[in-house]
């Protein structure tokens, strides 16, 4: 009897805790705080150690505000940490770095602050359309882009030359396909794709460029169409051809150790990936210095100039913060103000039009540019990238539960790259899994196939 | 057989004579046994329990296993001498074009404002407080469970087995929420408190106490009027030495290598332990625009292992003394 | 033998014990030693588990908030193919890997304890050393070596003209098993070894004088002594295998063709459900179910003998 009483007492304690946990996010009214005096906490990841310099500069310009940066690991680690802090109802940072497609997930649940109250909506025209559009929810900005990643075509000119391919003449995906056959003939692969979750971003970018709209979001209504959509059809058909004819390396996933080594020894001859790739190439494939080139994405129709976004991250202000005005000041500084320039100088691919079009950005004589251009055989890399960033992008929406979409992508799609099923079947299964998850999350989902 | 003669014995003088005779017989038998033992030992190679004949074949078999155990370390060591460029482009077991071990070690400790040193100290703190405490709690708990019959004792076993069967991953979120409520996340306590529980250590100590501490000895101490804690510290603790060393070693390694707990609990890089820091460095390579520093990850891993090796070398002396303690006991 | 010895000694002391261990007046002295552990244990394990049980009866949704669903999460689990495939995989893993590892560990412990090795200290530390390596690091190292293109396996293939691929889906689980065996053999060896070192030396001397051979000593003295440690190592190894997580999740990106799915093991599935799937409630139900399954298996395999041990 005494035992059961004890159990009851503990249970009550647990319930109390749960009850506390349940009332996580109150409204964010009255949490603006003092815009000039604050001690901010900032979660994110760092590409080298540029963050500490940036923060120093910011603190110098805003003497009343201090910023504590915590490197929270990868994008998914950071997102996990944020979810946990939100569940606990406290401990979240003031400012958080998120991958662009994840922003909506937190905006839907009211855990991020609508930045238009600080005037962020007026900055729309200052940013490239691609990254900006990804950060809107209900027509309001919930984060500002810190970088962007226009999808580019990178190729190893030495390998191409050996295979008798002229990289500058690859204008369409048909050209790409013909080139792939020649590259395969000398033992290399045009590119890699294993259908893992690491290839989710390139998938969305390439489907996006093909004009696909696999997901449509209208408030609580979702439409999923993975296989019947015209753009998706184009994409699936093309990829299936590459798989069937053994033109791509289906064993190697992006970001794996093998991937870097294959880029380094010329096994992988080209990549379609975000415009932030040069730094990674220089690091991961040092032996190919002077051989890589960058070009605009091949087009589906000759003469088109369709582009798409791959990757990109953004800064948001968390609803839990009691210092939102100061937090926004920091966000603005890093994305739109002085800090954005510093970041661009250290290799982050900017999303700010003023930087993209500035002479500095494409000036081949600056030290940073010279280093990159040397690796790319003297090509003016930023000129090519800047052109891509200013191209038009069609409308594309991610699912509000993007992290799930990304992790289950690998489970479903890899089966097709493993040649167990066709890519169309894989995408149909994928659509089913996504629809089921959406329903469980309370959305009204119509799955068209 | 010798008992038969005892039955026949009668009278005190006779008995004395018989005893002397028996003693002589016994001595003879011992001498004979020893001779036979020496002969047998010469044949089988098992000369003396304290110092047996070494076996070349057994050593060879174990050497094969040792190669298996040590091979990855060799790989780690070789690759710690390489630059990032050499790491991705040269043969795994061969040296790189430049010998960069010292450079790598220096960079590990200076990279990002020398944060590695801070992580190192944090880890030491967690090990001393967490693993030290865990060992103490496990010794006390295991001893209490082995040597006392108290209400609830049987339940302890079932409750613990049940609790550790729950996947730790799924407990991470509730644990995090609980600690967050108490404002303990992002503090060293979030690392230390959970590290205090070493269920495996508790079981080890339970078994060791059961086997290594004779109940008679405790009774004797109690009869002498010693309190329970004095008995524990003065009588039992010395007998438990080998078990304690094993438990401590496990607790140290578990805390030193703990990865999942700090990943969830700590979001302040000033309080990270080495594992989280290293993993962060590893992930940097797969960040868009990030700088791959696998050479630092590998060298950092090497640096992380070294203190554990030293700890092990220091602690292993105690197994010898443990052996001695065991011998004294009987 | 030690047990036998203490059993012989026991009757002498029974009267004293009976006076002290009075059935009618509970003896609470044991708690003096156990409460610090129990307190922390309740805080770190018991309360969070109760919380997990509690949330497993709810469902949290992005639209529509949280609602009570009773046993729905458990019912869903029954029909979840991904879950059962994960359970099957770790069960297979357990059946093969645990015996291999424990056999190696026991053999090595006996070899070290026999004192017949040249350089016992060297072997003792080299066997244990792998356990000192963080799982993140050891998986990385083995992953690098496994590579069929650039790893040592690749070099081997190049040299001998073979086509080995230890990361192919068919043998992947065995390769992961190898990593786990490498990591934990030393750990288990040490448990066996330190339990052997509690055997009083005089026992060997007596046995040796009685003319017992080396093997007879192993069989009659050492193996019975190992039984206690074997019981706990088996239970902990089973629990460990059922919670397999670190090695496969770190290897996920090193394995060609996404052979390690997000539901490769139950723990990975739980992790992905709760952290990228926004389904912590379902993950909690999964965790509770796994605990029940693990306990059932542990009980069938070994718990009975372990309970005897703990009498």
* Chains in contact with C, counting 3 or more C-beta pairs less than 8 Å apart as contact: A, B
Q: What number of other Cβ atoms are within 10 A of residue C171's Cβ?
A: 14
**Nearest residue in chain A measured CA to CA from C49:** A14
Do B193 and B270 share a domain, yes or no?
A: yes
**Nearest residue in chain A measured CA to CA from B113:** A49
DSSP letters, C200-232, are -HHHHHHHHHTT--HHHHIIIIIHHHHHHHHHH
| Domain residue ranges in chain C | 81-310
**What are the pLDDT digits (tens) for C46-81?**
999 999 999 999 998 888 888 999 999 999 999 999
**Nearest residue in chain A measured CA to CA from C253:** A256
* The predicted structure's pLDDT at residue B289: 66
Q: What region, left, alpha or beta, does residue A334 occupy, with left being phi > 0 and alpha being psi -120 to 50 degrees? A: alpha
With CA atoms as reference, report the closest residue to B50 among C309, C125, C115: C115
Mutate: best of C42, C127, C198, partner B, most B CBs <10 A: C198
Q: Which residues are CB-contacts of A362 (< 8 A; sequence separation ≥ 6)? A: A369, A380, A382, A383, A386
**What are the pLDDT digits (tens) for B23-72?**
778 777 776 766 665 555 555 444 455 556 778 888 999 999 999 999 99
Asked if the Cβ–Cβ distance from B288 to A274 is below 8 Å, we say yes
* Residue A390 or C23, more confident: A390
Q: Contact at 8 Å (CB) between C153 and C146?
A: yes
Asked if the Cβ–Cβ distance from B177 to A277 is below 8 Å, we say no
The one-character DSSP state at A98 is E
Asked if the Cβ–Cβ distance from C258 to A418 is below 8 Å, we say yes
DSSP letters, B206-258, are HHHHHHHS-HHHHHHHHHTT--HHHHIIIIIHHHTHHHHHHHHHHHHHHHHT-
A417-443 residues labelled b (16+ CB within 10 A) or e (exposed) = bbeeeebbebbbbbbebbbebbebbbb
* The predicted structure's pLDDT at residue B191: 92
Cα→Cα distances C124→B271, C112, C117, C186, Å: 34, 7, 10, 8
* Interface B:C, Cβ pairs < 8 A: 341
The one-character DSSP state at C45 is I
Nearest-Cα distance to chain B for A351, in Å, is 14
* The predicted structure's pLDDT at residue B36: 65
- The kind and range of the H/E element at A316 are strand A313-317
Residue B50 forms part of a structural domain: no
Q: Contact at 8 Å (CB) between C253 and B132?
A: no
Domain C81-310, classified CATH 1.10.3720.10, yes or no: yes
Distance CA B25, CA C149 (A): 75
Asked if the Cβ–Cβ distance from C275 to A76 is below 8 Å, we say yes
Distance CA A402, CA A390 (A): 26
Alpha helices in C42-134 (DSSP H): 47-55, 72-78, 81-113, 120-128
Q: Which residues are CB-contacts of A29 (< 8 A; sequence separation ≥ 6)? A: none
Residue B52 forms part of a structural domain: no
Nearest-Cα distance to chain A for B285, in Å, is 8
Q: Which residues are CB-contacts of C193 (< 8 A; sequence separation ≥ 6)? A: B319, C109, C112, C113, C124
Asked if the Cβ–Cβ distance from A72 to B176 is below 8 Å, we say no
Q: Contact at 8 Å (CB) between B161 and C47?
A: no
Find the mean pLDDT for residues A192-198.
92
* The predicted structure's pLDDT at residue B285: 74
Distance CA A161, CA A167 (A): 8
Q: Name the burial class of residue A223, with classes exposed (0-12), middle (13-18) and buried (19+) by CB atoms within 10 angstroms of its CB.
A: middle
* C282 at interface of B, judged by CB pairs closer than 8 A: no
Beta-sheet strand order (sheet of A444-447): A215-218, A221-224, A444-447
Distance CA C269, CA C275 (A): 10
* Residue B329 or C78, more confident: C78
Residue B323 forms part of a structural domain: yes
Portion 260-299 of A in contact with B at CB < 8 A: 260-261, 264-265, 274, 276-277, 279-280, 283-287
What are the backbone dihedrals phi and psi of residue B10, each rounded to the nearest 5 degrees, phi first?
Answer: -150, 150
**What are the pLDDT digits (tens) for C173-199?**
999 999 999 999 998 998 888 778 777
Cα→Cα distances A239→A222, A246, A252, A294, A428, Å: 26, 11, 16, 22, 15
Do B186 and B296 share a domain, yes or no?
A: yes
- Nearest 5°: the CA angle A250, A254, A256 is 100
Q: How confident is the model at residue C208 (pLDDT cuts 50, 70, 90)?
A: confident
Q: What is the CATH number of the domain that holds B169?
A: 1.10.3720.10
Do B150 and B33 share a domain, yes or no?
A: no
**What are the pLDDT digits (tens) for A319-372?**
999 999 999 999 999 999 999 988 888 778 889 999 988 888 888 988 888 999
What is the 3-class SS of B238-252, one letter each residue? HHCHHHHHHHHHHHH
**What are the pLDDT digits (tens) for B250-279?**
899 889 888 888 888 888 888 999 988 888
Asked if the Cβ–Cβ distance from B259 to C290 is below 8 Å, we say no
Nearest-Cα distance to chain A for C184, in Å, is 26
Q: What region, left, alpha or beta, does residue B214 occupy, with left being phi > 0 and alpha being psi -120 to 50 degrees? A: beta
Do B95 and B117 share a domain, yes or no?
A: no
Q: How confident is the model at residue A67 (pLDDT cuts 50, 70, 90)?
A: very high
Asked if the Cβ–Cβ distance from A70 to B267 is below 8 Å, we say yes
Asked if the Cβ–Cβ distance from A417 to C258 is below 8 Å, we say yes
> Which residues constitute the domain of residue B22?
2-44
- The kind and range of the H/E element at B304 are helix B294-315
**Nearest residue in chain C measured CA to CA from A193:** C257
Do B220 and B78 share a domain, yes or no?
A: no
Q: A441: which chain C residues are within 8 Å (Cβ-Cβ)? A: 61-63, 278
Mutate: best of C253, C270, C274, C284, partner A, most A CBs <10 A: C253
Distance CA B277, CA B298 (A): 12
Q: What region, left, alpha or beta, does residue B4 occupy, with left being phi > 0 and alpha being psi -120 to 50 degrees? A: alpha
Q: Which residues are CB-contacts of A50 (< 8 A; sequence separation ≥ 6)? A: A342, A343, A346, A348
Does the pLDDT at position A28 exceed 50? Answer: no
Q: In angstroms, how far is the first alpha carbon of chain A from the final one?
A: 58
Q: Contact at 8 Å (CB) between C193 and C281?
A: no
Measure CA C150 to chain center: 32
Q: What number of other Cβ atoms are within 10 A of residue A56's Cβ?
A: 11
Q: How confident is the model at residue A163 (pLDDT cuts 50, 70, 90)?
A: very high
Report how many domains make up chain B: 3
Do B135 and B38 share a domain, yes or no?
A: no
State whether residue B305 is helix, strand or coil.
helix
Asked if the Cβ–Cβ distance from A91 to B185 is below 8 Å, we say yes
**What are the pLDDT digits (tens) for A30-41?**
688 888 889 999
Find the mean pLDDT for residues B195-204.
88
Does the pLDDT at position A129 exceed 80? Answer: yes
Do B288 and B234 share a domain, yes or no?
A: yes
Does the pLDDT at position C311 exceed 90? Answer: no
- Nearest 5°: the CA angle C71, C77, C80 is 150
Asked if the Cβ–Cβ distance from C62 to A11 is below 8 Å, we say no
Alpha helices in A266-420 (DSSP H): 277-284, 324-335, 338-345, 353-356, 359-362, 367-375, 381-389, 402-417
* B178 at interface of A, judged by CB pairs closer than 8 A: yes
**What are the pLDDT digits (tens) for B133-159?**
999 999 999 999 988 888 888 888 788
Q: Which of B54, B73, B99 is the last residue of a domain?
A: B99
Q: Contact at 8 Å (CB) between A411 and C269?
A: no
C130-153 residues labelled b (16+ CB within 10 A) or e (exposed) = bbbbbbbbbbbbbbbbbbbbbbbb
Q: Where is average pLDDT lowest: A162-166, A249-253, B199-203?
A: B199-203
Asked if the Cβ–Cβ distance from A287 to B268 is below 8 Å, we say no
* The predicted structure's pLDDT at residue A218: 87
Do B238 and B282 share a domain, yes or no?
A: yes
Nearest-Cα distance to chain C for A440, in Å, is 7
* The predicted structure's pLDDT at residue A148: 87
* B254 at interface of A, judged by CB pairs closer than 8 A: no
Do B196 and B306 share a domain, yes or no?
A: yes
Residue B55 forms part of a structural domain: no
Alpha helices in B258-293 (DSSP H): 260-265, 274-284
Do B79 and B215 share a domain, yes or no?
A: no
* C28 at interface of B, judged by CB pairs closer than 8 A: yes
Does the pLDDT at position C90 exceed 70? Answer: yes
Q: Contact at 8 Å (CB) between C302 and C94?
A: no
**What are the pLDDT digits (tens) for A229-242?**
999 999 999 999 99
Q: Contact at 8 Å (CB) between A273 and C165?
A: no
- The kind and range of the H/E element at A43 are strand A38-44
DSSP letters, A107-136, are HHTT-B--GGGGTGGGGGGGB-HHHHHHTE
Do B86 and B159 share a domain, yes or no?
A: no
Mutate: best of C65, C139, C260, C276, partner A, most A CBs <10 A: C276
Global confidence as pTM? 0.83
Distance CA C133, CA A122 (A): 53
* The predicted structure's pLDDT at residue A49: 64
Q: How confident is the model at residue C308 (pLDDT cuts 50, 70, 90)?
A: low
Find the mean pLDDT for residues A144-150.
91
Compute, in degrees rounded to 10, the torsion defined by CA atoms C84, C85, C89, C90: -30
With CA atoms as reference, report the closest residue to C131 among C176, C182, C192: C182
Do B85 and B188 share a domain, yes or no?
A: no
Q: In angstroms, how far is the first alpha carbon of chain C from the final one?
A: 18
Which domains are assigned to chain A?
23-148+311-356 (3.40.190.10), 151-308+383-447 (3.40.190.10)
């Amino acid at each position: 009897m005494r035992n059961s009483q004890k159990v009851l007492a503990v249970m009550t304690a647990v319930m109390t805790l749960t009850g506390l946990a349940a009332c996580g996010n109150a409204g964010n009214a009255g949490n603006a705080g003092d815009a000039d005096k604050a001690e901010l906490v900032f979660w994110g990841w760092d590409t080298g150690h540029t963050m500490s310099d940036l923060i120093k500069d910011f603190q110098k310009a805003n003497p009343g505000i201090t910023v504590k940066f915590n490197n929270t690991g990868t994008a998914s680690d950071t997102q996990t940490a944020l979810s946990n802090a939100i569940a606990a109802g406290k401990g979240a940072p003031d400012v958080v770095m998120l991958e662009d497609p994840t922003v909506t997930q937190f905006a839907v649940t009211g855990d991020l602050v609508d930045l238009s109250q600080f005037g962020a909506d007026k900055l729309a025209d200052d940013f490239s359309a691609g990254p900006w559009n990804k950060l809107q929810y209900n027509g309001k900005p919930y984060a500002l882009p810190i970088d962007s990643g226009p999808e580019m075509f990178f190729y190893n000119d030495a390998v191409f030359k050996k295979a008798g391919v002229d990289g500058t003449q690859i204008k369409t995906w048909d050209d790409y396909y013909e080139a792939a056959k020649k590259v395969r003939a000398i033992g290399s692969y045009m590119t890699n794709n294993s259908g893992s979750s690491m290839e989710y971003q390139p998938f969305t970018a390439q489907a996006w460029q093909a004009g696909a709209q696999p997901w449509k979001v209208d408030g609580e209504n979702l439409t999923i169409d993975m296989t019947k959509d015209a753009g998706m059809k184009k994409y699936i058909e093309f990829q299936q051809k590459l798989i069937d004819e053994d033109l791509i390396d289906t064993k190697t996933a992006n970001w794996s150790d093998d991937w870097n080594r294959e880029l380094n020894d010329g096994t992988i001859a080209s990549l379609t990936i975000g415009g932030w790739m040069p730094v990674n190439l220089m690091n991961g494939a040092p032996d190919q210095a002077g051989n890589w080139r960058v070009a605009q994405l091949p087009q589906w129709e000759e003469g088109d100039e369709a582009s798409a976004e791959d990757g990109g991250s953004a800064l948001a202000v968390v609803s839990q913060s009691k210092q939102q005005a100061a937090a926004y000041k920091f966000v603005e500084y890093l994305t739109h103000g002085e800090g954005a320039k510093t970041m661009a100088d250290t290799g982050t691919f900017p999303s700010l039009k003023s930087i993209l079009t500035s002479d500095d950005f494409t000036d081949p004589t600056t030290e940073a540019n010279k280093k990159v251009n040397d690796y790319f055989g003297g090509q003016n890399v930023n000129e090519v990238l800047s052109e891509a960033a200013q191209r038009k992008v069609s409308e594309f929406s991610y699912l509000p539960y993007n992290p799930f979409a990304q992790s289950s992508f690998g489970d479903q799609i890899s089966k097709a790259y493993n040649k167990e099923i066709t890519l169309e079947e894989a995408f149909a299964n994928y659509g089913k899994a996504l629809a089921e998850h959406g329903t469980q999350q309370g959305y009204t989902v119509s799955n068209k196939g | 057989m010798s008992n038969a003669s005892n039955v026949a014995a009668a009278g005190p003088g006779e008995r004395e004579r018989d005893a002397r005779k028996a003693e002589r017989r016994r001595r003879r038998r011992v001498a004979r046994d020893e001779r036979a033992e020496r002969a047998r030992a010469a044949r089988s190679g098992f000369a003396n329990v304290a110092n047996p004949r070494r076996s070349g074949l057994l050593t060879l078999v174990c050497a094969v296993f040792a190669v298996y155990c040590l091979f990855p370390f060799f790989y780690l060591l070789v690759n710690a001498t390489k630059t990032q460029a050499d790491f991705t482009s040269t043969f795994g077991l061969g040296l790189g074009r430049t010998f960069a071990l010292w450079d790598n070690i220096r960079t590990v400790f200076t990279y990002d404002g020398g944060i590695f040193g801070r992580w190192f100290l944090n880890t030491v703190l967690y090990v001393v407080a967490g693993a030290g405490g865990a060992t103490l709690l496990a010794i006390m708990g295991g001893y209490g469970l082995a040597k006392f019959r108290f209400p609830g004792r049987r339940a302890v076993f079932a409750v613990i087995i049940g609790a550790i069967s729950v996947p730790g991953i799924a407990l991470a979120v509730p644990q995090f929420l609980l600690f967050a409520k108490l404002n303990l996340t992002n503090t060293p306590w979030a690392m230390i408190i959970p590290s205090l529980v070493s269920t495996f250590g508790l079981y080890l100590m339970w078994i060791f106490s059961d086997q290594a501490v004779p109940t008679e000895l405790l009774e004797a101490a109690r009869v002498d009027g010693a309190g329970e804690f004095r008995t524990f510290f003065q009588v039992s603790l010395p007998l438990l030495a080998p078990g304690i060393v094993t438990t401590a070693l496990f607790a140290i390694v578990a805390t030193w290598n703990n990865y999942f707990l700090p990943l969830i609990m700590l979001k302040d890089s000033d309080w990270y332990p080495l594992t989280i820091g290293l993993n962060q460095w590893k992930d940097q390579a797969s960040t868009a625009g990030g700088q791959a520093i696998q050479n630092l990850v590998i060298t950092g891993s090497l640096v992380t292992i070294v203190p554990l090796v030293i700890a092990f070398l220091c602690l292993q002396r105690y197994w010898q003394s443990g052996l001695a303690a065991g011998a004294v006991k009987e | 033998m030690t047990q036998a010895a203490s059993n012989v000694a026991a009757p002498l002391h029974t009267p004293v014990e009976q006076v002290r261990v009075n059935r009618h007046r509970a003896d609470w002295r044991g708690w003096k030693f156990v409460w610090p552990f129990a307190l922390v244990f309740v805080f770190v394990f018991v309360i969070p588990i109760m919380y997990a049980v509690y949330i497993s009866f709810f469902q949290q949704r992005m639209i529509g908030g949280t609602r009570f669903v009773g046993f729905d999460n458990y019912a869903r689990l029954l029909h979840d193919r991904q879950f059962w495939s994960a359970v099957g995989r770790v069960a297979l893993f357990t059946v093969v890997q645990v015996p291999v590892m424990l056999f190696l560990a026991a053999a090595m412990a006996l070899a070290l304890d026999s004192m017949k090795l040249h350089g016992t200290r060297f072997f003792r530390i080299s066997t244990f050393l792998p356990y000192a390596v963080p799982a993140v690091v050891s998986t990385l190292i083995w992953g690098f070596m496994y590579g069929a293109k650039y790893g040592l396996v690749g070099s081997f293939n190049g040299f001998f003209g073979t086509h080995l691929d230890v990361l192919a889906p068919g043998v992947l689980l065995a390769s992961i098993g190898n990593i786990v065996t490498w990591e934990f053999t030393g750990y288990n060896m040490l448990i066996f070894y330190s339990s052997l070192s509690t055997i009083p030396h005089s026992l060997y001397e007596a046995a040796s004088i009685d003319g017992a051979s080396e093997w007879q000593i192993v069989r009659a003295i050492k193996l019975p002594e190992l039984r206690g440690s074997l019981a706990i190592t088996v239970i902990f190894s089973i629990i460990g295998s059922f919670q397999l997580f670190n090695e496969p999740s770190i290897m996920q990106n090193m394995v060609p063709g996404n052979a390690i799915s997000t539901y490769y093991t139950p723990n990975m599935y739980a992790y992905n459900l709760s952290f990228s799937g926004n389904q912590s409630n379902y993950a909690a139900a999964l965790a509770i179910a796994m605990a029940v399954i693990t306990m059932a298996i542990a009980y069938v395999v070994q718990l009975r003998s372990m309970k005897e041990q703990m009498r």
